[in-house]
């Protein structure tokens, strides 16, 4: 084991969805304020190898990494590899708050661990031994964690365990954590995040769910060092004392995590409560001299949070789509819009339009300052999304189409301006006479669905004198992709060009159209096959989203005049 790295384990109790990802990133931030090199591992207990095939309504969005990892379940063997670039959405939160890029190997799933165990057994790595959860499975987990810390020469590796304590699926990971604590007690700290509900009937915050959650954690051999109470309002002193008494932690180690208007404020709230100093004491670290950076400097972070908290006005953005059953489906897009708006002095009001057959698209868009057409897959809601693009063209509403949204923009253009009424994507209508969207050549013989799309960061060649070039001010950029279908250039005819259709970027071989736009002085309408939202940061918004918001503000002002 790397004798220098320390480990902070973050577990969750009572229920899922209470914001462990934000807590983990915010702990990392207060440690960055002290000059430490940190990174994060997210453990997902499901049996999928990665979340790439999970429904966003069930799991939230997939975050796409710069790199593609060729995961080899059995080290130094001839075993096949699995391409991984689609990882848990919490990595978007980590990246935005910590300002670091994490390799896809930082997302550890039960599927990866069990695959490694079983295939290692078949390869003869455990000859003569009965393969068991302990020690064989837990050893693989520990090796993964230690390998990341050592390879990246980290001061501190934060490990967030998905799900809730008591879940059967996460028990192997919690056991591995227990063993690491036993082997290296001075190098580990345990943070437990729980829900502290407010009972309106009696007018009190309630500690009982936290007490039960901590007891469950203790029953598997883990004692939390710090408890972070997620609540609507800051924790009362009485409730802190009660949690401290029944959970066997000092009162000062019961940390309040209330609802916040701006999520980036949480590291500052943790700092006020002394969380960073407590963790350093637990794992025997002394703060380092911090070199100036807008990412890791405390005072710069305070200024940035103040910018988000004090907008001068609101901007209303319509988001027609199909995955609004949970708020996390488009979280990186939502945040990229918020980041860009804050840097213009505005706050976003996002109008999520969950399109059905009964949706009156025109009425929904009437009070909006811009339209962002969302990514997705499949037939549901497609005609309503195409109608949204058509109305944006007619009414000259600023428009940004992302991935699937860009493809539907092109379908809308072909139907409206080229007279191709049956134009469609072969994903939706395989027998369309006008397949203006079709599979990439490299995808036509692909049979496996997991990790087989065009993924990761790709070089993009940008055409000068386009809206895309105006945003990036570069002829070469790198952005992240996740798609199988793409715009068919043969339908961008002279007639299409005469009616305003422009190809603003291609791949480095010139064969794939990466973005399109309309050549109109009085209308900003752009569709990008890539996902610029994954690179947006609160201190450095995506150029694409920044320019989109700029045009939405112009449109808002023009409607007032």
The domain that contains 199 carries what CATH number? 3.40.50.300
Helix (H) or strand (E) holding 486: strand 485-487
One domain, residues 181 and 153: yes
Q: Is residue 470 part of a domain?
A: no
Mean pLDDT, range 186-190, rounded to an integer: 95
pLDDT digits (tens, 9 = 90+) for 206-225: 999 999 999 999 999 999 99
Last residue of a domain, one of 302, 326, 342: 302
Q: Which stretch of 49-58, 79-88, 123-132, 479-488 has the lowest confidence by average pLDDT? A: 49-58
One domain, residues 318 and 297: no
SS3 letters across 400-429: EEECHHHHHHHHHHHHHHCCCCCEEECCCC
Band of the pLDDT at 441, cuts 50, 70, 90?
Answer: confident
| Cβ proximity of 71 and 105 under 8 Å | yes
Band of the pLDDT at 1, cuts 50, 70, 90?
Answer: very low
| Cβ proximity of 507 and 459 under 8 Å | yes
Provide the strand spans (E) within 302-431. 313-321, 346-354, 370-373, 399-402, 423-425
One domain, residues 429 and 285: no
With 90 as the cut, is the pLDDT of residue 65 above it? yes
- Sorted by sequence, the CB contacts under 8 Å of residue 228 that are 6+ apart come out as 23, 191, 192, 193, 194, 255, 256, 257
Q: Is residue 263 part of a domain?
A: yes
| Cβ proximity of 407 and 386 under 8 Å | no
Give the CA distances from residue 542 to residues 370, 533, 546, 549, in Å, rounded to whole numbers and listed in that order: 17, 7, 6, 11
One domain, residues 523 and 555: yes
Last residue of a domain, one of 270, 302, 334: 302
| Cβ proximity of 155 and 286 under 8 Å | no
Mean pLDDT, range 71-97, rounded to an integer: 93
Q: For residue 257, what pLDDT is reported?
A: 97
Band of the pLDDT at 3, cuts 50, 70, 90?
Answer: low
With 60 as the cut, is the pLDDT of residue 152 above it? yes
Residues with active-site annotation: 403, 531, 533
With 50 as the cut, is the pLDDT of residue 465 above it? yes
Q: For residue 39, what pLDDT is reported?
A: 98
Last residue of a domain, one of 247, 269, 302: 302
- Sorted by sequence, the CB contacts under 8 Å of residue 330 that are 6+ apart come out as 61, 319, 321, 323, 374, 375
One domain, residues 290 and 359: no
Q: Is residue 445 part of a domain?
A: no
What are the tokens at 224? 């939390």
With 80 as the cut, is the pLDDT of residue 291 above it? no
| Cβ proximity of 348 and 553 under 8 Å | no
One domain, residues 520 and 409: yes
Q: Is residue 292 part of a domain?
A: yes
One domain, residues 419 and 400: yes
Neighbours of 221 (CB within 10 A): 13
With 90 as the cut, is the pLDDT of residue 355 above it? no
Band of the pLDDT at 78, cuts 50, 70, 90?
Answer: confident
Band of the pLDDT at 228, cuts 50, 70, 90?
Answer: very high
pLDDT digits (tens, 9 = 90+) for 539-559: 999 999 999 999 999 999 998
Q: Is residue 463 part of a domain?
A: no
Q: How many domains does the chain have?
A: 2
Q: What are phi and psi of 26, to 5 degrees?
A: -70, -35
With 90 as the cut, is the pLDDT of residue 459 above it? yes
One domain, residues 171 and 35: yes
Distance between CA atoms of residues 436 and 423, nearest Å: 6
In terms of residue numbers, what domain contains 216? 6-302
Mean pLDDT, range 386-393, rounded to an integer: 96
One domain, residues 287 and 339: no
| Cβ proximity of 66 and 456 under 8 Å | yes
One domain, residues 244 and 199: yes
pLDDT digits (tens, 9 = 90+) for 300-335: 999 999 999 999 999 999 999 887 766 678 999 999
With 90 as the cut, is the pLDDT of residue 449 above it? no
With 90 as the cut, is the pLDDT of residue 227 above it? yes
| Cβ proximity of 466 and 517 under 8 Å | yes
Q: For residue 139, what pLDDT is reported?
A: 96
Mean pLDDT, range 293-303, rounded to an integer: 91
pTM: 0.94
What are the tokens at 282? 């637990």
Q: Where are the alpha helices (DSSP H) in 8-89?
A: 20-32, 56-59
One domain, residues 47 and 78: yes
Q: Is residue 14 part of a domain?
A: yes
Distance between CA atoms of residues 300 and 314, nearest Å: 24
The CATH number of the domain holding residue 395 is 3.40.50.880
Mean pLDDT of the chain: 94
With 50 as the cut, is the pLDDT of residue 2 above it? no
Q: Which stretch of 19-33, 291-305, 400-414, 460-474 has the lowest confidence by average pLDDT? A: 291-305
With 80 as the cut, is the pLDDT of residue 246 above it? yes
One domain, residues 118 and 78: yes
Long-range contacts of 234-237 (CB under 8 A, 24+ apart): 234/258, 235/196, 235/205, 236/205
With 50 as the cut, is the pLDDT of residue 490 above it? yes
Q: Is residue 74 part of a domain?
A: yes
Mean pLDDT, range 264-287, rounded to an integer: 96
Q: For residue 58, what pLDDT is reported?
A: 76
Mean pLDDT, range 30-35, rounded to an integer: 96
Neighbours of 476 (CB within 10 A): 11
* Interaxial angle between packed helices 90-98 and 331-343, expressed in degrees from 0 to 180 and rounded to the nearest 10: 20
């Amino acid at each position: 084991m790397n004798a220098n790295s320390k480990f902070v384990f973050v577990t969750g109790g009572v229920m899922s969805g209470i914001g462990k990802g934000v807590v983990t990133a915010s702990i990392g931030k207060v440690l960055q304020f002290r000059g430490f090199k940190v990174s994060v591992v997210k453990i997902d207990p499901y049996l999928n190898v990665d979340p790439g095939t999970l429904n966003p309504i069930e799991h939230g969005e997939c975050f796409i990494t710069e790199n593609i990892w060729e995961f080899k379940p059995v080290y130094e063997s001839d075993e096949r590899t699995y391409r991984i670039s689609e990882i848990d959405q919490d990595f978007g939160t980590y990246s935005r708050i910590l300002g670091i890029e994490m390799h896809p190997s930082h997302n550890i799933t039960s599927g990866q661990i069990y695959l490694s165990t079983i295939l290692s057994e078949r390869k003869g790595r455990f000859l003569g031994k009965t393969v068991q959860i302990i020690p064989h499975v837990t050893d693989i987990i520990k090796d993964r964690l230690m390998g990341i810390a050592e390879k990246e020469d980290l001061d501190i590796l934060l490990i967030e365990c998905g799900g809730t304590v008591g879940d059967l699926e996460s028990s192997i990971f919690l056991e591995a954590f227990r063993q690491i604590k036993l082997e290296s007690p001075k190098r580990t700290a345990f943070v437990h995040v729980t829900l502290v509900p407010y009972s309106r009937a009696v007018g009190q915050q309630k500690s009982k769910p936290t007490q039960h959650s901590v007891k469950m954690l203790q029953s598997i051999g883990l004692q939390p060092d710090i408890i972070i109470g997620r609540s609507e309002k800051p924790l009362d002193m009485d409730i802190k004392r009660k949690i401290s008494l029944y959970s066997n932690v000092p009162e000062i180690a019961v940390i309040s995590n209330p609802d916040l208007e701006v999520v980036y404020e949480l590291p500052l709230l943790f700092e006020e409560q002394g969380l960073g100093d407590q963790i350093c004491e637990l794992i025997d670290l002394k703060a380092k001299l911090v070199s100036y950076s807008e990412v890791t400097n405390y005072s710069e972070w305070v200024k940035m949070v103040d910018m988000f908290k004090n907008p001068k006005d609101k901007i209303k953005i319509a988001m027609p789509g199909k995955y609004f059953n949970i708020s996390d489906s488009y979280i990186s897009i939502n945040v990229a819009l918020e980041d860009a708006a804050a840097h213009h002095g505005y706050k976003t009001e996002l109008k999520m339009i969950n399109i059905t057959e009964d949706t009156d698209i025109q009425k929904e868009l009437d009070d909006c300052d811009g339209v962002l057409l969302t990514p997705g897959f499949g037939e549901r809601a497609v005609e309503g999304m195409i109608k949204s693009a058509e109305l944006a063209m007619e009414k000259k509403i600023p428009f940004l189409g992302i991935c699937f949204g860009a493809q539907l923009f092109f379908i809308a253009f072909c139907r409206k301006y080229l007279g191709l009424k049956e134009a469609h994507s072969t994903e939706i209508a395989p027998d369309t006479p006008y397949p203006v969207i079709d599979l990439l050549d490299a995808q036509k013989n692909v049979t496996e669905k997991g990790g087989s799309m065009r993924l990761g960061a790709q070089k993009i060649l940008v055409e000068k004198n386009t809206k895309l070039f105006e945003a990036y001010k570069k002829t070469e950029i790198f952005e992240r992709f996740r798609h199988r279908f793409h715009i068919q250039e043969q339908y961008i005819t002279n007639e299409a060009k005469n009616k305003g259709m422009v190809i603003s970027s291609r791949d480095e071989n010139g064969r794939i159209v990466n973005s399109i736009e309309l050549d109109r002085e009085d209308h900003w309408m752009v569709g990008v096959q890539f996902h610029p939202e994954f690179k947006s940061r609160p201190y450095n918004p995506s150029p694409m989203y920044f320019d989109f918001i700029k045009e939405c503000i112009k449109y808002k002002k023009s409607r007032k005049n």
